[in-house]
């Protein structure tokens, strides 16, 4: 390795939530830190996200009279584990939630708060919270504090908190005065607020990320990782460790085919997440875990601007449009196949159902089908109530015509809709239990929440509409196995000295579970904090 390569204690690769919080925790613990980012902008998928972090038994709950405990969090994760969560990760996660939040409040500009009422994603499981209390979000952050760095994040300015949006239980509207006030102060919410606050903490400690510096190889000496080589041919050296915070491998088709358990298409998130950290870890003999899993999500594809949140690279996440009354999902046989209002991650299971005789994924492609009543009352796909659906949504005067346009069996589609209308009239979905869970109606018609009518309602007023729905992901979950302090393990289970991994680059601490809103960023924050402390030599 070149003697002239710059040397610090800790190198962090990637500037999403996991990378920045790790870098900040390490710098705050006294380490010298260098942060390298592959993209031309900061923030990765985190910058496009809502910035919600799922943190059981968190310190804000007391003010909202939420009853929670580490024991409840443990019971919940254990009940959902399916053998994929290592118990020591559950303990480390739950025990570090409040130390991480205390540290953030005392030592950094980051301020989190509760999104009141947001139910867990499987709230009826042991230890689950139907009334919410575990989903937190960053307070609005003033980007003017970042000086020349304020325009260097991926995504665009969103001056709202998630609790103010329909997904978080709000209206989605600010008063003109509030809007003007936030604009004049350059306030932002959601994922960029989280990142902005973390970056401010780093800048205050003299750490400036370096953009367009893609790491491609780890450098080892006598089995220890001592540095990295970049795509531009330069190198950097780390005395204490190199942290892989490079996100998932969802943008590498070969890795996706090799590892993921079912089909994904129409990807969301940062295009730079091509599994570089995974490849580097494999090159030095890392043991891998949770490789088949991702943070699954259904999406629609529309022509759109790559830089807007709900048109990520022409793709929109679909939540309200499958949850509100007057809409169902059908497969190529024209049949319903699942509880459409279930959480997006769990729906991956329905999309990955494989028929042994047909030898195909039975529920891909599929469509969300809705009626004029839905359009008039709720709107959807970015269109306000009563607006005109975009051209990429199929519209027909009758269900038979709709079936013809989509190539679905008309009689079956008519029977499916009739059955749905009958069940809606009876007030219970006997077929798939939609509306049974406290989560189901959360993104539905809030006038009827809680209760099944927040999500049940007939499809009976033409014209009728359909939009194709694809199985996608917010990011993959697999990566190198680590200790609870994020040191990467080799195939024999021994620590690879000098190598660490966090966020979507590590084998997910929560296995196949998405505990509640913020289920990816919550663990990323907690384990990033643990990693940063530990790599700096001051374990949490």
Ligand X SMILES: Cc1cc2nc3c(=O)[nH]c(=O)nc-3n(C[C@H](O)[C@H](O)[C@H](O)COP(=O)(O)OP(=O)(O)OC[C@H]3O[C@@H](n4cnc5c(N)ncnc54)[C@H](O)[C@@H]3O)c2cc1C
Point out which span in 143-151, 203-211, 371-379, 503-511 binds ligand X (CB under 6 A).
503-511
Q: Which residue from 9, 28, 37, 293 is in contact with ligand X, where contact means CB under 6 A?
A: 37
Q: Which residue from 10, 39, 198, 337 is in contact with ligand X, where contact means CB under 6 A?
A: 39
Q: Which is nearer to ligand X, 59 or 279 (CB)?
A: 279
Q: Which is nearer to ligand X, 281 or 350 (CB)?
A: 281
Q: Which is nearer to ligand X, 38 or 182 (CB)?
A: 38
β-pair type (7-13, 33-36): parallel
Neighbours of 422 (CB within 10 A): 11
Angle made by CA atoms 248, 314, 50, in degrees to the nearest 5: 55
- Identify whether the C-beta of residue 238 lies closer than 8 Å to the C-beta of residue 499: no
Using the 8-state DSSP alphabet, how is residue 186 labeled?
Answer: T
Chain center to CA of 230:
28
Q: Which is nearer to ligand X, 90 or 268 (CB)?
A: 268
Check binding of 50 to ligand X (CB under 6 A): yes
Q: Which residue from 10, 28, 51, 527 is in contact with ligand X, where contact means CB under 6 A?
A: 51
Q: Which is nearer to ligand X, 15 or 331 (CB)?
A: 15
Q: Which residue from 524, 525, 526, 534 is in contact with ligand X, where contact means CB under 6 A?
A: 524
Point out which span in 79-87, 203-211, 262-270, 438-446 binds ligand X (CB under 6 A).
262-270
CA distance 23 to 35: 7
Q: How far is the CB of 287 from ligand X (least distance, A)?
A: 19
Q: Which H, E and C letters describe 356-406, residue by residue?
A: CCCCEECCCCEEEEEEHHHHHHCCECCECCCCCCCCCCEEECCHHHHHHHH
CA distance 392 to 387: 14
CA distance 160 to 488: 37
Q: How far is the CB of 191 from ligand X (least distance, A)?
A: 6
Check binding of 46 to ligand X (CB under 6 A): yes
CB-nearest residue to ligand X: 16
CA-based nearest residue to 497, from 86, 222, 88: 222
Check binding of 52 to ligand X (CB under 6 A): yes
Q: Which is nearer to ligand X, 346 or 521 (CB)?
A: 521
Strand partners, 316: 300
Q: Which is nearer to ligand X, 294 or 456 (CB)?
A: 294
Phi, psi dihedral angles at 421 (to 5 degrees):
-65, -40
Q: How far is the CB of 380 from ligand X (least distance, A)?
A: 17
Q: Which residue from 28, 276, 429, 487 is in contact with ligand X, where contact means CB under 6 A?
A: 276
Check binding of 48 to ligand X (CB under 6 A): yes
Virtual CA dihedral for 330, 252, 281, 248, nearest 10 degrees?
-50
* Binding to ligand X, residues 294-323 (CB under 6 A): 295, 309, 312, 317
Q: How far is CA 89 from CA 10, 94, 281, 540, in A?
A: 23, 8, 20, 14
Q: Which residue from 8, 11, 18, 80 is in contact with ligand X, where contact means CB under 6 A?
A: 18
Q: How far is the CB of 504 from ligand X (least distance, A)?
A: 4
Check binding of 132 to ligand X (CB under 6 A): no
Q: Which residue from 44, 127, 332, 516 is in contact with ligand X, where contact means CB under 6 A?
A: 44
* Binding to ligand X, residues 157-216 (CB under 6 A): 214-215
β-pair type (354-355, 294-301): unpaired
Q: Which residue from 27, 49, 322, 455 is in contact with ligand X, where contact means CB under 6 A?
A: 49
Q: Which is nearer to ligand X, 372 or 472 (CB)?
A: 472
Secondary structure (3-state) at 327: strand
Q: Does the bond joining 450 to the residue before it have cis omega, within 30 degrees of 0?
A: yes
Point out which span in 33-41, 101-109, 249-257, 390-398 binds ligand X (CB under 6 A).
33-41
Give the interface size with ligand X as a residue count (CB under 6 A). 45
Check binding of 339 to ligand X (CB under 6 A): no
Check binding of 473 to ligand X (CB under 6 A): no
Check binding of 268 to ligand X (CB under 6 A): yes
Helix extents (H) in 290-343: 320-323
Residues 6 or more apart whose CB falls under 8 angstroms from that of 396 comprise: 402, 404, 405, 463, 464, 465
Q: Which is nearer to ligand X, 290 or 330 (CB)?
A: 290
CA distance 133 to 57: 8
- Identify whether the C-beta of residue 36 lies closer than 8 Å to the C-beta of residue 243: no
Q: How far is the CB of 75 from ligand X (least distance, A)?
A: 21
Q: Which is nearer to ligand X, 417 or 486 (CB)?
A: 486
Phi, psi dihedral angles at 91 (to 5 degrees):
-65, -50
Catalog residues that contact ligand X under the rule CB under 6 A: 13-19, 36-39, 43-46, 48-52, 214-215, 245-247, 268-270, 272-273, 276, 295, 309, 312, 317, 474-475, 503-505, 518-521, 524
């Amino acid at each position: 390795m070149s003697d002239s390569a710059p040397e610090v204690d800790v190198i962090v690769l990637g500037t999403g939530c996991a990378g920045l919080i790790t870098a900040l925790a390490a710098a705050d613990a006294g380490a010298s830190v260098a942060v390298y980012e592959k993209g031309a902008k900061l923030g990765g998928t985190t910058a496009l996200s809502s910035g919600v972090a799922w943190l059981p038994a968190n310190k804000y709950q007391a003010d909202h009279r939420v009853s929670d405990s580490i024991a409840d969090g443990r019971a919940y994760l254990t009940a959902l584990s399916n053998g994929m969560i290592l118990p020591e990760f559950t303990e480390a996660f739950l025990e570090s939630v409040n130390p991480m939040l205390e540290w953030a409040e005392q030592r950094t500009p980051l301020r989190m708060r509760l999104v009141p009422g947001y139910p867990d994603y499987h709230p009826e499981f042991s230890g689950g919270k139907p009334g919410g209390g575990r989903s937190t979000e960053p307070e609005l952050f003033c980007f003017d504090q970042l000086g020349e760095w304020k325009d260097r994040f991926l995504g665009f300015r969103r001056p709202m908190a998630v609790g103010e949006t329909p997904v978080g239980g709000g209206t989605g509207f600010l008063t003109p005065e509030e809007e003007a006030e936030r604009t004049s102060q350059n306030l932002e919410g959601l994922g960029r607020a989280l990142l902005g606050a973390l970056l401010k903490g780093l800048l205050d400690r003299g750490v400036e990320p370096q953009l367009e510096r893609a790491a491609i190889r780890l450098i080892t000496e006598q089995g220890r990782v001592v540095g990295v080589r970049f795509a531009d041919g330069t190198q950097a050296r780390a005395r204490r460790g190199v942290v892989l915070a490079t996100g998932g491998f969802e943008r590498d088709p070969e890795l996706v085919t090799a590892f993921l358990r079912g089909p994904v298409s129409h990807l969301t998130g940062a295009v730079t997440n091509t599994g570089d950290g995974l490849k580097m870890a494999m090159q030095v003999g890392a043991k891998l875990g949770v490789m088949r899993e991702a943070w699954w999500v259904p999406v629609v594809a529309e022509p759109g601007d790559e830089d807007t949140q709900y048109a990520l690279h022409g793709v929109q996440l679909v939540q309200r449009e499958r949850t509100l009354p007057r809409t169902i999902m059908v497969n190529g046989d024209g049949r319903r196949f699942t509880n459409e209002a279930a959480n997006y991650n769990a729906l991956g299971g329905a999309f990955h159902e494989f028929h042994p005789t047909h030898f195909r994924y039975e529920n891909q492609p599929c469509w969300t089908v809705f009626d004029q009543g839905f359009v008039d009352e709720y709107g959807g796909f970015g269109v306000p109530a009563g607006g005109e659906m975009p051209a990429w949504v199929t519209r027909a005067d009758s269900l038979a015509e709709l079936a013809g346009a989509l190539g679905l069996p008309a009689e079956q589609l008519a029977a499916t809709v009739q059955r749905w209308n009958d069940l809606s009239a009876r007030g219970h979905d006997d077929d798939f239990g939609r509306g049974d869970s406290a989560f189901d109606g959360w993104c539905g018609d809030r006038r009827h929440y809680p209760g099944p009518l927040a999500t049940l309602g007939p499809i009976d007023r033409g014209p009728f509409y359909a939009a194709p729905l694809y199985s996608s992901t917010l990011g993959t979950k697999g990566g190198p196995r680590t200790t609870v302090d994020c040191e990467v393990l080799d195939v024999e289970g021994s620590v690879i000295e000098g190598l660490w991994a966090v966020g979507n680059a590590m084998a997910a601490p929560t296995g196949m579970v998405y505990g509640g809103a913020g289920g990816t960023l919550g663990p990323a924050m907690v384990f990033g904090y643990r990693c940063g402390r530990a790599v700096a030599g001051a374990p949490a």
